[in-house]
Amino acid sequence: MDNQYTIQTQNLSKSYKGVEVLNIEELNIPKGQSFGLVGNNGAGKTTYFSLLLDLIQPTTGQIINNDIVVSESEDWKPFTSAFIDESFLIGYLTAEEYFYFIADLRKVTKTEVDELLATFEDFFHDEILNKKKYLRDLSKGNQKKVGIVASFIGNPEVIILDEPFANLDPTTQIRLKKIIKELASAKHTTVLISSHDLLHVTDVCERIVVLDKGVIVKDTLTNETTLKELEAYFGREDEENIELPAKDHSEESAQ
Amino acid sequence: MKLSKFSSFEWKKFSRSSYFEKGVVVKILLILGALYFIGLAAFLGFAIIFGLEKAIPDQDPFVTLNNFLIYYVLADLGFRYFLQQLPVMNIKPFMIIPVKRSKVINYLLLKTSLSFFNILPILFFLPVTGVLIYKSYDVLGSIIWFISFLSISFCINYANFLINKTQVFFYAIISVLAVLVGLEYFSVYPVSDLFGDLFYGFYTDKYWAIIPIGLVYVLFKANYNYILKHFYLDGAIVEKKESVKQYDLSFLNRFGKLSTFLKNDVRMILRNARPKQVVMMSFLFLFYGLFFYTQDIYQDMPAFLAFASMFITGGFLISFGQLVPSWDSEYYKLMMSQNISYRQYLESKWLLMVVACVISFILSTPYIYFGWKIYLMIAAGASFNIGLNSFITLYGGALNRVPIELNQKAKAFSNTNGFNPTQLLISLPKILGPMIIFYIPYKLLNFNAGLIALAASGVLGLIFKQKFLSIVENVYQKGKYKTLAAFNEKQ
């Protein structure tokens, strides 16, 4: 059981002033899986990722990252990396300085970083490196590119990306999908992403979990019908509202 | 859109901030402090006329009071400059909805009337006026005198914002003050008498009151125009292009593991408006000694000299250190999810503070002019700063969870003097520390013993450096979630 799962979630809940925003009894993610978290605003996706990174304190329960309880020890940090939002960037650095800073923290040499960056030339689309611009002056999309690539530095075993597709142009979205697929196929890295884009997330993730109001309502391995199922699930309320002829809901509500 | 609507927004902003919810103890202390000052002001107001009558019996106590009031005006100006919060308001939402700009600005400026600093003078001058009338001074004259001083108080209120926001006004005021002090000090012209006559004139020749009342209007308008001109978000209208400043920081590599953080900190200071301001300010601290060493009264109060000596070398150390880790608030989540050691992070900041202290000490060499005694005192103060003050300041900073917008300079709508009660409490040991460490051996033995004690306290701090760093590190670890939550809250 120990090495079967990279991430184990046990009786995890988070409340703010008595209001529960997340309650996950059990969620185990095997090593090497590309895992997608889907849900409407306020479903608890970012809360879950923040708990995973020990940025907020769980009300009950715990998350175990490679046998380490994240809220009790910091030993998960060397093999875990994340890009959640712009607060993971240092605005007054240039892209290169930022990459080297992260590399220093993760004990990666400059040459290794340069090699890694070379493989992302396409992804950067000549808008990031050697631009003599501070990160704070880059567009939101380009900032995101920097943050995502920085999270790949140092061969982390667990990569957490919150809404990686948002703000990216279509070309970059397609390139990012390719990159994530490659990472996942290597079976060394566990990738966790959250997204509002059902198409992208079903495309890159082997498994998809749907959160609604902090509770897991769907947990499925991706196949050809997953996208349809998800669209049906998220569209169900609209259909109810426009009062279509009575319809059998049992299929959608089955978890 | 009514003014009351603005007020309700402001109240919500105040009562719903996380700071308000957390700092209960600090709040109680603050309220107690305010009550103390209110009581003191009112008591002084009642007692001062009688007191002056006793002290200088052969002069009209009211004339004596007026002669001293210029010092009150100067002190008020000084206090407000360092302590009074500037009007802060989030203007972005109001920019595109149909509210007249004039309304927003007027509200902003009028809001400041309710400041503690404006209420205090009322509490002082009201009883004074009461006593004057009781002692059968001219009723109308006394009331006009009261109104004049109220106006002066408001003048200072509005002048303070201009001083804070515009460099030109700041230097203008400083120059005028310097000239006046110079005239008085070198006995060229008795400036304080002139002001004494003017203040007394409010009472005798009532129309003189037009001066302060008119000045309030002028300063209000000046503020109004200034804010109107700056009623834009920086960068939203005019996109600023910033060229990257590259520095060769490889010389920092000699610090080994620390160099990662050191390089980052140096870049942070050089590339952001707010830390640059701090560096400028700390340069001004170097001149602090000129106030103390030139005054004869302080020569017999070496404890105050010890305090001044600490400030000369401690400018950067205090103003930078009290905002560690706030300097990294913009990307604190990154720091907390990376594999960083708090120890190295802190040590890097500590080293910067120490280096700044040493540089300040070297720059303070001209103080030898005031004698070796003074210079040795500055040296002892520097030792205290490096060895003890640095850790006290870092400890205070860890408790002081105020998010900083690094690249926001003092703008019309930002709060430049991020002053809060936690900072005040934690600054007590910084201020009293060197005075006590110096004073006790000085009183028991002699001057040199005081010097040695102050210098030794710093050395002692250095010896226990690891221990002190561990204590601060502990605060970081314990407060991690609190700090993250506080920094997450946008101002």
Q: What is the pLDDT of residue B8?
A: 76
Angle value at C-alpha A33, between A29 and A39, nearest 5 degrees? 70
Query: Which residues on chain B are in Cβ contact (under 8 Å) with A192?
Result: none
Categorize the per-residue pLDDT at A247 as very low, low, confident or very high, splitting at 50, 70 and 90: very low
Encode B8-34: b = buried (16+ Cβ within 10 Å), e = exposed. eebeeeeeeeebeeeeeeeeeeeeeee
Query: Which tokens is A211 given?
Result: 């959160």
Q: What is the pLDDT of residue A162?
A: 94
Contact A148, A88 (CB under 8 A): no
Q: What is the pLDDT of residue B194?
A: 84
Facing residue for A84 by CB, picked from B330, B333, B485: B333
Question: How many other C-beta atoms are found inside a 10 Å radius of the C-beta of residue A118?
Answer: 9
| B15–chain A Cβ distance below 8 A for any pair | no
Tell me A134's DSSP state: B
Q: What are the C-alpha distances in Å from B8 to residues A90, B1, B5, B231, B320? A: 36, 12, 5, 22, 35
Tell me A132's DSSP state: -
pLDDT average, residue stretch B435-456 = 89
Contact B80, B157 (CB under 8 A): yes
Facing residue for B271 by CB, picked from A55, A81, A92: A92
| B484–chain A Cβ distance below 8 A for any pair | yes
Instruction: State yes or no: pLDDT of B344 exceeds 90.
Output: no
Q: What is the pLDDT of residue B91?
A: 65
Task: Give CA–CA dist B476/B456, Å, rounded.
Answer: 28
- Mutation pick from B338, B341, B481, B487 vs chain A, by most beta carbons of A within 10 Å, is B338
Residue A87 and residue B339: Cβ atoms within 8 Å?
Answer: no
Query: Which residues on chain B are in Cβ contact (under 8 Å) with A16?
Result: none
Burial bucket for residue B356 (CB in 10 Å: 0-12, 13-18, 19+) = buried
List, for residues B97-141, the tens digit of each pLDDT value. Answer: 777 778 878 887 887 777 778 888 888 999 999 999 998 888 999
Residue B339 and residue A77: Cβ atoms within 8 Å?
Answer: yes
Categorize the per-residue pLDDT at B25 as very low, low, confident or very high, splitting at 50, 70 and 90: low
Among chain A residues, the shortest Cα distance to B246 is held by A132
pTM: 0.71
The reply to whether CATH 3.40.640.10 applies to domain A5-238 is: no
Name residues 224-243 of chain A within 8 A of B (Cβ): none
Is pLDDT larger for residue A185 or for residue B383? B383
- Positive or negative, the CA dihedral A129, A131, A136, A140 is negative
Q: Which helix (H) or strand (E) holds A158?
A: strand A158-162
Closest CA to B152 of B192, B208, B102, B228: B208
Q: What is the pLDDT of residue B416?
A: 40
Q: In degrees rounded to 5, what are phi and psi of residue A211?
A: -105, 140
Q: What is the pLDDT of residue A68?
A: 93
pLDDT average, residue stretch B317-329 = 89
Among chain B residues, the shortest Cα distance to A95 is held by B244
B314: closest CA of chain A, how far (Å): 27
Instruction: State yes or no: pLDDT of B443 exceeds 90.
Output: no
Query: Which residues on chain B are in Cβ contact (under 8 Å) with A106?
Result: 338-339
The residues near B57 (Cβ < 8 Å, ≥ 6 apart) are none
E strands, A17-67, are 19-30, 34-38, 60-65
pLDDT average, residue stretch B406-430 = 59
Contact B33, B115 (CB under 8 A): no
Under 8 Å CB pairs connecting chains A and B tally to 75
Instruction: State yes or no: pLDDT of A163 exceeds 70.
Output: yes
Give residue limits of the domains in chain A. Answer: 5-238
pLDDT average, residue stretch B163-179 = 80
